[in-house]
Amino acid sequence: MKTRITELLGIEHPIIQAAMSWASSNAPLVIEVSNAGGMGVLAAGPMRPDDFRNALNQIRAKTARPYGVNIPLNNPRAPELLDIAYEARIPVMVASQGGPREQLPRFRSIGTKWLHVVASVEHARKAEAAGVDALVVDGAEAGGHPPPAQVSTLVLVRRVAKAVKLPIVASGGAADGAGIAALLALGAEAVQLGTRFIATPEASVHENYKQAVLAAEVDGTTLIGPRTLPIRLLKNALTERFHASGREDQERLYKEASLKQAALEGDIENGKVEAGQSAGLVEDIVPAGELVRRLARELEEARRRLASL
């Protein structure tokens, strides 16, 4: 399938593995996805500079295909991570949380394609005006940080597609080819999946985390955190305590618990088990490359089904 995104990035399928702190902060997942014709994205946010450099070296050694790097621009360590990404001449930047204007020119000068993550019409317009190559539009179903206003992917992607000319990668809620087809029908030109890729052997989270995603139903997630920047995660002892607490205790609980605790230590009761509503659609652990090929097949089936109606 050819779209403006597959052409821009030079990938075979309109399928992107979303950046996920810890889960995709390692080379193998990115390599497998990119080698299968999708695009893998390394989540640099939680990585130490040396680990980041090593992962980039591994990726470059094991795939000749395009890959992306996600850097949250408001991360205090972003300047260092950006320098490393620049030195490595990464093919694709997936930037989140912060404006692109300052960094765009130097990455442009080395040919990097810049995808900018947005979660509102206003930010989509701003990113377009700043000159990015494409947008990643995150809807409310998404794991991690969904839009504070909680507009669903179904509505937000459609609205942004009407508001801007740039090609869009839809993000949030897709776990199979039918979901990808639905988001392409709205005007997206590729779809990014996060939660679905947690259930792969290559995702670097604890086995408990993967099993929790498999066990979750579609109503198995909730939101916690500040109203201006909530996170979506699986319901557990932490989210129960959070919702039963007053504001001060909520702030403390939110600060004390971490994604790392769940992802690396396997404490899925007291840690932040970030995942999207699509966890309820995930039924098996599949090698990442096989998953990309399966998603591409399912997408074709969904197109055929629609055409036959």
Ligand X SMILES: Cc1cc2nc3c(=O)[nH]c(=O)nc-3n(C[C@H](O)[C@H](O)[C@H](O)COP(=O)(O)O)c2cc1C
Site residues (vs ligand X, CB under 6 A): 18-21, 23, 43, 45, 70, 72, 96, 117, 138, 141-144, 171-174, 193-195, 274-276, 278
CB of 209 to ligand X, least distance (A): 8
Q: Which residue is nearest to ligand X (CB)?
A: 194
The residue (of 47 and 161) whose beta carbon lies closer to ligand X is: 47
70: three-class secondary structure by DSSP = strand
CB 167 within 8 A of CB 148: no
CB of 44 to ligand X, least distance (A): 8
CB of 196 to ligand X, least distance (A): 6
CB of 260 to ligand X, least distance (A): 11
The residue (of 117 and 182) whose beta carbon lies closer to ligand X is: 117
CB of 145 to ligand X, least distance (A): 6
Task: Give Cβ neighbours of residue 281 (< 8 Å, ≥ 6 apart).
Answer: 175, 176, 179, 196, 218
The residue (of 57 and 74) whose beta carbon lies closer to ligand X is: 74
- Give the residue among 122, 173, 157, 193 at the shortest CA–CA distance from 276: 173
H or E element in which residue 276 lies: none
The residue (of 100 and 173) whose beta carbon lies closer to ligand X is: 173
CB 152 within 8 A of CB 190: no
CB of 132 to ligand X, least distance (A): 14
The residue (of 128 and 176) whose beta carbon lies closer to ligand X is: 176
Q: What does the angle CA 134 – CA 293 – CA 157 come to, to the nearest 5 degrees?
A: 30
The residue (of 109 and 228) whose beta carbon lies closer to ligand X is: 228
Q: What does the angle CA 287 – CA 289 – CA 294 come to, to the nearest 5 degrees?
A: 90
End-to-end CA distance of the chain: 21
CB 242 within 8 A of CB 253: yes
Burial of 218: CB neighbours in 10 Å, binned 0-12, 13-18, 19+: middle
